[in-house]
Amino acid sequence: MQEPAPAISFDHVHLSLGERSLFRDLSLGIDTGDKVVLNAPSGSGKTTLLKMILGFIRPDSGSIAVRGTVLSCQTVRQVRRACAYLSQDVDFRDQSVRDTVAEIASYPANRQSGLSLSAMEPYLHRLYLDGGIWRKDIGELSGGERQRFGIALCAALDRPIWLLDEPLSALDDGSALAAAELLAGSPATVLAISHHPG
């Protein structure tokens, strides 16, 4: 019986930016359902790694595959539809939180996801965000609220792969524990990056 393809794999990937070599012969496989945290200092290429998975940055050589599909110009849309991405700055447009959810739900890749305010409610509660968040604009949210909102959005989208850039950096201990428990209990493959030790 053939082994299932890894959720994410890097095969002999090399990448240089300017004169700086970020990755040399990187080979890495992350299996379906794994929860992986890559910890390294700021500026070491962690965010670049996530952007390579999404096809925003192309390696100089080597290949990247997501759920057995090798990333290319022809497959990049398919790969992105399998991934939920949360940037370090949780950079949503400054509009109401309600409108942000409606806008994201309207994207062609998300129309079958069932994303809605009611779909997000259970995840918001688990992350200690109450219904008052719907009356706010994105710009009114604290850094920790934005991160928790973004994690709840990833959960409600129910993509098989979550790519999270510093997802807990602005959270207090209680919120960080709740978020970590949500991530650990998800069936999704989670790749998170952090420059914090531990």
| pLDDT for res 3 | 75
CA–CA gap between residue 98 and residue 180 (Å, rounded): 25
Residue found under tokens 């920790």? 144
- For the whole model, what pTM was predicted? 0.93
Tokens coding 108 = 């062609």
pLDDT band at 109 (very low <50, low <70, confident <90, very high): confident
Tokens coding 73 = 């110009």
Residue percentage of the chain with pLDDT more than 90: 81
Number of neighbouring beta carbons within 10 Å of residue 39 = 13
φ/ψ (deg, to 5) at 142: -70, 170
Whether residue 2 is predicted with pLDDT greater than 80 in this model: the reply is no
CA–CA gap between residue 111 and residue 117 (Å, rounded): 14
Three-state DSSP string of 122-154:
HHHHHCCCCHHHHHCEHHHCCHHHHHHHHHHHH
Residue found under tokens 């599909």? 69
Whether residue 195 is predicted with pLDDT greater than 80 in this model: the reply is no
Whether residue 84 is predicted with pLDDT greater than 60 in this model: the reply is yes
CA–CA gap between residue 81 and residue 102 (Å, rounded): 18
DSSP code string of 161-191: EEEEESTTTT--HHHHHHHHHHHHH-SSEEE
Number of neighbouring beta carbons within 10 Å of residue 93 = 9
| pLDDT for res 18 | 84
Give the DSSP H or E segment for 102: helix 97-106
Residue of 21, 164, 162 whose CA lies nearest to 87? 164
- What is the mean pLDDT of the segment spanning 136-155? 96
